[in-house]
Amino acid sequence: MTAQDEALDAIHEAIILFSRNSRVRANNMYDDLPFVAYTMLSYVRTFPLPTASDLAERYGLEKSTVSRQLSQLEEDGLLRRVAHPSRPRTKLLELTDTGRARLARVRQLQRKGLEERLGQWPDEDVETFSRLLHRFVTELD
Q: So what's the pLDDT on residue 27?
A: 56
What local confidence, expressed as pLDDT, does residue 129 receive? 94
The pLDDT assigned to 23 comes to 66
Residue 59 to residues 54, 63, 65, 126, 133: CA-CA distances in angstroms? 9, 10, 11, 28, 19
The tens place of each residue's pLDDT in the chain, 141 residues long, gives: 899 889 999 989 988 888 887 766 665 667 778 888 888 999 999 998 899 999 999 888 899 999 999 999 999 999 999 998 888 888 999 999 999 999 999 999 889 988 998 999 999 999 999 999 999 988 876
Q: Say how far apart CA 16 and CA 13 lie, in whole Å.
A: 5
- Residue 77 has a pLDDT of 96
pLDDT for 141 equals: 63
